[in-house]
Amino acid sequence: MRFLPATKAIPKEMLPIVDKPTIQYVVEEAVESGLKDVTFVTSSSKNAIEDHFDYDYRLEHKLQEQGKHELLKVVQEITRMITVSSIRQKEPLGLGHAILITKTLIGDEPFAVFLGDDIIVGEVPCMKQLLGVYETHQASVLAVQEVPEEAISRYGVVAVEPVEPGDDRLFTVKDVVEKPPPEKAPSNLAVIGRYVLTPTVFEFLEKTKPGVGGEIQLTDGLRSLIEKEPVYAYRFQGSRYDAGNKLEYLMATVDFALQRKDLGEQFRAYLKDLKL
């Protein structure tokens, strides 16, 4: 709702940052982390997301005819990037529920979860960092980041112990609480929208009752998972933009535009000239 009226007829995941929809940045992180099979959990108003990654014969034909080879390549790469499946979440019953309904597609395998609002940039893609931890420990891993006290109640927050004394990146999760008031937050480490999960989580999501906001919370499923098997938190390297927040969306737009080879220089000059 935060981006109305822009999102009246298009899903928020299709809002562009410079010239790419936000969802494409997220998908590119998956691809750069070595993942190719993507399942979108969508709803009736989100068909544009699947269409974006689908083959568009008419567009490709037109670009070919007009000799726009560079653009044609850009469009073709999007289609070839991933194999897509999707599943409809018929009612907005929460993140835990959104993950639970993918069980039939995922089966008995570990899987990665990307929340579309979080755009993360860094030298090593955030998900690749989490998968590295998974490779070593064969257990679920949550991406975490320190957040200021006034923001903590917007997140799942972890109570942790370092895996090795002095390790300030990798932690064992002792507890996780969804959107606590600041005085009840177990730490300043917030869960960011990247997870590697073992399929055991499905067992617990099936039993999870609606929690905060009347939704089936992934956090509550994770809380039960911790009782059964180790769960890790990884303080990833990189910066993250909450593309669902207008100010951070604008910041992402400026930062990404400045990094563009075709726009960066002129845009920088324009910004420098602004009498702010």
39-47, 79-87, 212-220, 253-261 -> range binding ligand G1P (CB under 6 A): 212-220
Candidate segments 63-71, 82-90, 187-195, 260-268, binder of ligand G1P by CB under 6 A: 187-195
Residue 95: CB atoms within 10 A of its CB come to 23
Q: Do residues 114 and 229 touch, judged by C-beta distance below 8 A?
A: no
Shortest reach from residue 156's CB to ligand G1P, in Å: 3
| Cα angle, residue 189 at apex, residues 186 and 190 outer, rounded to 5° | 100
Q: How far is the CB of 217 from ligand G1P (least distance, A)?
A: 6
Query: Which one, 52 or 223, has the nearer CB to ligand G1P?
Result: 223
Residues 214-243 that bind ligand G1P (CB under 6 A): 217-219
When the beta carbons of 72 and 218 are compared against ligand G1P, the nearer one is: 218
Smallest distance from the beta carbon of 76 to ligand G1P, in angstroms?
32
| Footprint of ligand G1P on 117-156 (CB under 6 A) | 118, 155-156
Burial class (CB in 10 A: 0-12, 13-18, 19+), 239: middle
209 in Cβ contact with 116 (< 8 Å): no
Taken in order 3, 8, 14, 17, the sign of the CA dihedral is negative
As measured in angstroms, the least distance from the Cβ of 39 to ligand G1P is 18
Please work out the total of residues on this chain that contact ligand G1P, with binding judged by CB under 6 A. Answer: 13
d(CA 224, CA 231): 11
Comparing CB distances to ligand G1P, the nearer of 63 and 196 is: 196
- Report the alpha-carbon distance of residue 150 to residue 148 in Å, rounded: 6
Check residue 192 for interaction with ligand G1P (CB under 6 A).
Answer: yes
- Return the number of other C-beta atoms located less than 10 Å from residue 189's C-beta: 24
Short-list 134, 230, 113, CA closest to 174: 230
Both tokens of 117, joined, read 């609002």
Binding residue (CB under 6 A) for ligand G1P from 27, 95, 170, 185: 95
Query: β-strand 20-21 against 16-17: which pairing, if any?
Result: antiparallel
What is the smallest separation between the CB atom of 179 and ligand G1P, expressed in angstroms?
Answer: 7
Residue from 11, 116, 125, 193 that binds ligand G1P (CB under 6 A)? 193
Contact residues for ligand G1P (CB under 6 A)?
95, 115, 118, 155-156, 178, 190-193, 217-219
